[in-house]
Structure 1
């Protein structure tokens, strides 16, 4: 552990601003804004950063913030990222700081991410004269809505000169005090498809005079499910989920068309490339067999999150130093997605989880649930890791 931080001193430093970090999180929770509309959130973050001193602050996009802390000694550049957007969900929690914005809620912990990074920035600003290199604090907009804010920030040049990047996500299925790490593939790529099947509608009493797109569509759905089980190597993880099936306007009318939508999750580039080809084969074969036509819209979304080994190792050592090996959890990959991958596609880095689950307090609801909440003790854990990791990485 870097010499200025004994375990006691780090705990004292973080404890000294813990009330502020909680206050910031509660303000953000009470005033959520959805993706690409985080104007007040960005202004709040900007004003806080400006008050810390020693930072060069910029606005690379309309609703994002970057703050640069340039140390007094030459060295590497480390970026630390937090996302800031909320979700279009009506909150069901009853708290003094429940969302004031109807139909909008911080149901994924981004309020906590922002507060933790603000806390780390405030503390690290005091050590400018001991920092080798630069720490770049990235407050990102629009993680929840593809194409996502990360790719916009990359295109705006926020990673220029960056050597490594780290980020954290508060995690509802991990107990408070536990930190989840993963070497290599951590979160899946997420892609989307929409299939339109064109038949010939008619009266429900005379299906023989129609080309029924509903019947054809059900066969398409069934056969798409065979792709993962029969066309993808069992060792290669993939998921295809049909989540939408829309068609028809009356119970006695066979419609002219139906639409089918869904999500695809995968890790390997070759699997990701192959799946839309296989979906097309299925749709083409089924529709041709029944004399129907089709259109497919396929959108590649967030790439897989692939953690760099060296950076992950440094974070693992940091976590063990602070919390002990018993609280470092090596997790399995998950099929959720994250646009932090856009940063990892440019520079090496790692993404890790900070536990926020507290069954005694009833903090058990999953992400994106209207009763999602976090154990605020975890905010201190995240700040500790960011602060200590910054010194460990820059002085490695």
Structure 2
């Protein structure tokens, strides 16, 4: 059976690549992916499966094999990013300022190809497979919550996902038990002082100076308040003040994010953050408004499920797999983490660095994936789900 599935997938590789290139040319931002959702839905027309729309743009496709058996779900996301593409690909984005700069076009393409094969071979395997085509991964609260709350996954025994990952070379797989991706919080601070002229700074309450001290002080949280063996980052990504060179602004705003693995670290960073803000307020006689929110939780792979999948991967005869990293973690965040509330989850990384040239990071305007990784992702996920169902 596996041999037949892999053969069909290999024969369909060009179709999978064509899916990816179409999606890459027609990217849509989170919560606005109406055309993408319609395109995916049309691919399933007249096929032996059930397509259900979730509130928003997400879809769940149910494929039933022989009666009985487990119910597994596989998730792929399909939203793009507000980035102007600079790849010079022949199939570059046709939507100005919007780009598939994270590989979600590839996630959807491999999953469409895999689903097609599972539908064609459903008389050969036992159980039910639900394909989750999920919208809005990039923007909190994230499309995963809509899917979780839909009730359409209440019967699943486990949920699987993967990310085509440019930091890893093609043929390298990351499969790790426990915490593998960070939780995330976001902050926005608006400092309010008293404007003035550069010639008489003593008459002002200088928000620029307050912000400068705050940026320095807040970086001591990770370096001096967090255990060096704990993952934690704090980044200020934007400072907005405007104005002219000889005027002290009345208001200056900044924003950024925090990453962590443990809840204790999450709480410590927020507590210290607020203490420093209060100190800056007193030191510079300024006021502030703070919006500090927690969004995606830490992504934790289920130990038992992940060990089962590791065993499948390590016994796989797929010649494209060169290395399996069993302790691979990244500090980025993923709303796939919410699926752990429904069932055991496992999330993999499939190496997608180009064979030649530079490998640009995710969310870069020159980001691209190795299209050979599309077939490999489909082959590996096919092997995993069929062997899990067989158990």
- Mark yes or no: TM-score above 0.5: yes
Are 2:115 and 1:121 equivalent residues in the alignment? yes
Question: Are the equivalent residues in 1 in contact too, given 2:5–2:117 (CA < 8 A)?
Answer: no
Aligned to 2:204: 210
Give runs of ≥4 in structure 1 deviating > 6 Å. none
1:61-76 to 2 correspondence within 5 Å?
61-76=55-70
**What secondary structure does 2:335 align onto?**
coil
For 2:20, what is the secondary structure of its paired residue?
helix
Give the aligned CA root-mean-square deviation in angstroms.
1.7
Of 332, 339, 345, the residue aligned with 2:341 is: 345
For 2:206 and 2:135, the matched residues in 1 are separated by 44
Deviation at 1:161, TM superposition (A): 1.1
CA–CA distance in 1 between the matches of 2:380 and 2:281?
Answer: 54
1:200 pairs with 159, 179, 194, which one? 194
- 1:309 and 1:246, CA in 2 relative to 1: closer, same or farther beyond 3 A? same
Tell me by how many angstroms 1:236 deviates.
1.6
Residue matched to 1:180? 174
Give the secondary-structure state (helix, strand or coil) at the position aligned to 1:128.
coil
Is 1:335 the counterpart of 2:342 in the alignment?
A: no
Is 2:267 the partner of 1:263?
Answer: no
Alignment equivalent of 1:112, drawn from 100, 106, 109: 106
Match of 1:364 among 359, 363, 374: 359
Contact 1:56 1:69 (C-alpha < 8 Å) held by counterparts: yes
Instruction: Decide which of 2, 19, 43 is 1:5's aligned counterpart.
Output: 2
In structure 2, C-alpha distance between the alignment counterparts of 1:314 and 1:38, rounded to whole Å:
35
Residues 1-396 of structure 1 aligned to structure 2 (within 5 Å): 4-6=1-3, 9-51=4-46, 53-320=47-314, 321-323=316-318, 326-360=322-356, 362=357, 364-396=359-391
Cα distance in 2, alignment partners of residues 392 and 288 from structure 1 = 62
Counterpart-to-counterpart distance in 1, 2:268 and 2:128: 41
The answer to whether the Cα contact below 8 Å between 1:79 and 1:164 also exists between their aligned partners in 2 is yes
Structure 1: state its 5+ residue gaps: none
Alignment size in residue pairs = 389
Check whether the contact 1:80–1:165 (CA below 8 A) recurs between aligned residues.
yes
Q: Structure 2 CA distance, aligned partners of 1:231 and 1:379?
A: 42
Normalising by structure 2, we get a TM-score of 0.95
**CA-CA distance at 1:273 after TM superposition:** 2.3
Q: Distance between the aligned counterparts of 1:98 and 1:393, measured in 2?
A: 38
Checking the alignment, whether the CA contact within 8 Å between 2:154 and 2:342 is kept in structure 1 is no
Aligned CA distance change for structure 1 residues 130 and 11 (closer, same or farther; 3 Å) = closer
SS of structure 2 residue aligned to 1:350: strand
Deviation, structure 1 residue 159: 1.9
Counterpart contact for 1:363–1:375, Cα < 8 Å:
no
Partners of 2:56 and 2:146 within 8 A in 1? no
- Taking the aligned partners of 2:107 and 2:24, their CA distance within structure 1 comes to 11
Instruction: Classify 1:10/1:56 alpha carbon distance in 2 versus 1 (closer, same or farther; 3 Å).
Output: closer
Q: Quick check: 2:5–2:121 contact (8 Å CA) kept in 1?
A: no
Distance 1:261 1:69 in 2: 44
- 1:129 aligned counterpart, secondary structure: coil
